[in-house]
Amino acid sequence: MGRPAAHVGVLALQGDVREHVAVLEALGAAVSLVRTPAQLAAVDGLVLPGGESSVIDKLSRAFQVREPIRARIAAGMPVYGTCAGLILLADRILDGLPTQLPFGGLDIDVRRNAFGSQVDSFEAELAVPALGEEPVHATFIRAPAVERLGDDVDELASVDGRVVAVEQGPLLGTAFHPEVGGELRFHRRFLDRVSAVRGRMPE
């Protein structure tokens, strides 16, 4: 028998879950909402949506998925985090709440709300050479920025001298929301990582 079709999850505790589901389904992926350890165990990759990173952190503990997510990341599961999701993927949050802990995995330091408050939200056209010549239309909403990159982390994009998109192995993070404007290429890149990891797994 052949391998079953891969499917991915969107962490559905808080944030712009529906927008990610819509983009992933538009790319032909089978998508599940993830709120429990059992639901996490059934997916091949995970999207961490934008929202409130401290709230998602707190709810992940309440729903007992924080440690399973950390274990899956350590085991090589592909993950894509946008905005709050990028904060959660960082190994270190420079200005997190005293009780806030990230899932970790990306060897970066990140600063929350690096571009200001909600009223400072903006849109920009970003050059992302890894995705081709066409610029990426990016929506920044109380966006974080990466202030330190580990040796194995690749910078994919920056704005005003601040790093806003990174990649490390199967982990991908953006400070902005491609899903808001219908940009598909980051999610396609994430799905490519899922396929690559599945291709190395035994039948």
CATH number at residue 100: 3.40.50.880
Question: CA dist 70 to 60, 139, 145, Å?
Answer: 11, 28, 22
- 8 Å CB contact between 13 and 36: no
20, 83, 183, 187: the catalytic one is 83
Asked if residue 69 is part of any domain, the answer here is yes
Asked if residue 180 is part of any domain, the answer here is yes
Say what the pLDDT of residue 14 is.
96
Say what the pLDDT of residue 188 is.
96
Say what the pLDDT of residue 1 is.
43
Whole-prediction pTM: 0.94
Tens-of-pLDDT digits for all 203 residues of the chain? Answer: 445 556 899 999 999 999 999 999 999 999 999 999 999 999 999 999 999 999 999 999 999 999 999 999 999 999 999 999 999 999 999 988 888 899 999 999 999 989 877 777 899 999 999 999 999 999 999 999 999 999 999 999 999 999 999 999 999 999 999 998 889 999 999 999 999 887 666 44
Task: Respond yes or no: is residue 155 known to be catalytic.
Answer: no
Say what the pLDDT of residue 118 is.
74
19, 177, 183, 187: the catalytic one is 177
Burial of 161 (C-beta count, 10 Å sphere; 0-12/13-18/19+): exposed
Task: Respond yes or no: is residue 83 known to be catalytic.
Answer: yes
Asked if residue 17 is part of any domain, the answer here is yes
Asked if residue 106 is part of any domain, the answer here is yes
Say what the pLDDT of residue 176 is.
96
Range of the domain at 47: 7-199
Say what the pLDDT of residue 3 is.
54
What residue has token string 């983009």? 23
Number of folded domains that form the chain? 1
Can you tell me the distance from the alpha carbon of 68 to that of 73, in angstroms, rounded to the nearest whole number?
Answer: 9
End-to-end CA, the chain? 9
- 8 Å CB contact between 121 and 141: yes
Asked if residue 83 is part of any domain, the answer here is yes
Asked if residue 141 is part of any domain, the answer here is yes
Say what the pLDDT of residue 130 is.
96
Asked if residue 139 is part of any domain, the answer here is yes
Asked if residue 2 is part of any domain, the answer here is no
19, 20, 167, 179: the catalytic one is 179
Question: CA dist 61 to 35, 99, 113, 133, 174, Å?
Answer: 11, 12, 23, 41, 24
